[in-house]
Amino acid sequence: MHSKYSAPKLDIPPSLIASVDGGFTEHTVINRMPNIARRVIKENNFADEINQSLEKLASDLSSGNLSPLIDDTGIDVMAWPHYLQLYQEKRWVDIPWFVAETYFYRLILNITNYFRPGEYQYIDPFNLQKSQGLEKSIDSIVALCKQASIWCSQADSTETSLIGLLYFSLWGNRVDLSLWSAIEDSDRSNFNIESQQAHILVDDSAKVIDLFVNNTSNKQNQVDLVADNAGFELVCDLCLLDFLLNSGLVDTVKLHLKPHPTFVSDAMIKDVHHTVDFLSSCSSLEVKNFAHRLRNYITSEQLILTDDYFWTSPLPFWEIPESKKNELSNSSLLIVKGDANYRRLLGDRHWHFSSNFMDIVCYLPVPTLALRTLKSEVAAGIPQLTIDKTAKSDPDWLTNGSWGLIQLAAI
């Protein structure tokens, strides 16, 4: 199966740029990114020379020019001059926002000698935050696994279970148990699906049900999921994949992960293995059983863990290499998780928020499901009435993570 399009059908608008757009985009480059670099200094035991370089990077972001990438033997090091050829000697705030962010994280690895043989090789500079995020979410993990177990034990609950797990995957960046209504605080065994729908601006979960459940003549042999964050969000994604495999709705799942640390909490193959180990050590029987199933899926290659340097490049998704596009064409459904991946689906550009989502992502070779909480000023496919109503009730709706999208683009 192949798409006849190699790019969006619509005219491609300009990229988001900090110095042009201001607001949240500029705040990210001149405030959030320097704080991330300085947190790397605090949370690791790097040499003084490395810390000085990290501090210089942090200081340069607000008004300085891009720093060069020194050859560090990383597989992608020769690709970056090509990615940056239009932005040489430009300020961080004057280049496309997604390029700036992606290069910033690659530079952190360059500075900390992540790829170079030596004492810091393959040291994840964000590992402390990932580990703490997983440990702090244990109550949420136990509650989620108990809820999933209840759903799986109920007859004729496939639709309810699938919708519930789609919602968990969508809101997986929340670890405060807010997925359960306050009235059920003492008994989290009942997940209130209805309470989650009010903050989902586009909800195509019924179409997903049709794809998996109602269309029995078209079984989904393989699902591909492009992962976002480690921690509780990864656990939520794995719960969804567990259900698809355990229920027989899918034969194989391919989980696409980052080949190196990026965007602080993005999941790598080693994070999946660490998560399964962590779940195995939990005292909850439901969590232990979940971990056991995950191990069996990985061993039997029903769950395939894979990574690729395209996922850490600054390229829009429509510039996906032909080999990767051909690989994805074997899938029955591509699930794209999270805000950063959503930005790449849309090229991190100024689409009108009501632009036809399918006309933008038509370049992908298979049906594509985006599960995304809004944390940036990029969106498409939202009805104009919904945009007006949401903007009136919540001025920060595009960036505060309180609103979600479940968008299915069928080909």
Average pLDDT of 256-280? 98
Whether 193 has a pLDDT exceeding 70, the answer reads no
- Mean of all residue pLDDT scores within the chain: 92
pLDDT at position 155: 64
Average pLDDT of 164-184? 67
Q: What is the widest separation between alpha-carbon atoms in the chain?
A: 62
Residue 373: beta bridge partners? 404
pLDDT at position 5: 84
Torsion of CA 72, 77, 83, 84, to 10 degrees: 20
Q: Alpha carbon of 69 to those of 9, 209, 267, 299: distances in Å?
A: 35, 46, 23, 38
pLDDT at position 183: 33
pLDDT (tens digit per residue) in 113-172: 999 999 999 999 999 999 999 999 999 999 999 988 888 777 677 888 999 999 999 998
pTM of the model as a whole: 0.95
User: Tokens standing for 331?
Assistant: 């899938």
pLDDT at position 35: 96
pLDDT at position 377: 96
The candidate with the shortest Cα–Cα distance to 226, out of 340, 358, 118, is: 340
Whether 219 has a pLDDT exceeding 70, the answer reads no
User: Tokens standing for 283?
Assistant: 């005292």
Q: Give the integer Cα–Cα distance in Å for 290 and 169.
A: 16
Contact status, residue 255 vs residue 230, Cβ threshold 8 Å: no
> What is the per-residue DSSP string for 22-33?
-HHHHHIIIIIH
pLDDT at position 189: 45
pLDDT at position 179: 46
Query: Percent of the chain beyond pLDDT 90?
Result: 84
Name the DSSP class of 322: H
pLDDT at position 403: 95
Whether 102 has a pLDDT exceeding 50, the answer reads yes
Name the DSSP class of 44: S
Long-range contact set of residues 107-110: C-beta below 8 Å, sequence gap at least 24: 107/57, 107/67, 107/69, 108/37, 108/40, 108/54, 108/57, 109/72, 109/74, 109/260, 109/261, 110/69, 110/70, 110/72, 110/74
| 156 vs 71: which has the higher pLDDT | 71
**293 Cβ contact partners less than 8 Å away, ≥ 6 residues apart:** 242, 245, 246
Whether 314 has a pLDDT exceeding 50, the answer reads yes
Taken as a whole, the chain contains a residue count of: 411
pLDDT (tens digit per residue) in 349-405: 999 999 999 999 999 999 999 999 999 999 999 999 999 999 999 999 999 999 999
Model confidence at 178, pLDDT cuts 50, 70, 90, reads very low
Model confidence at 216, pLDDT cuts 50, 70, 90, reads low
pLDDT at position 185: 42
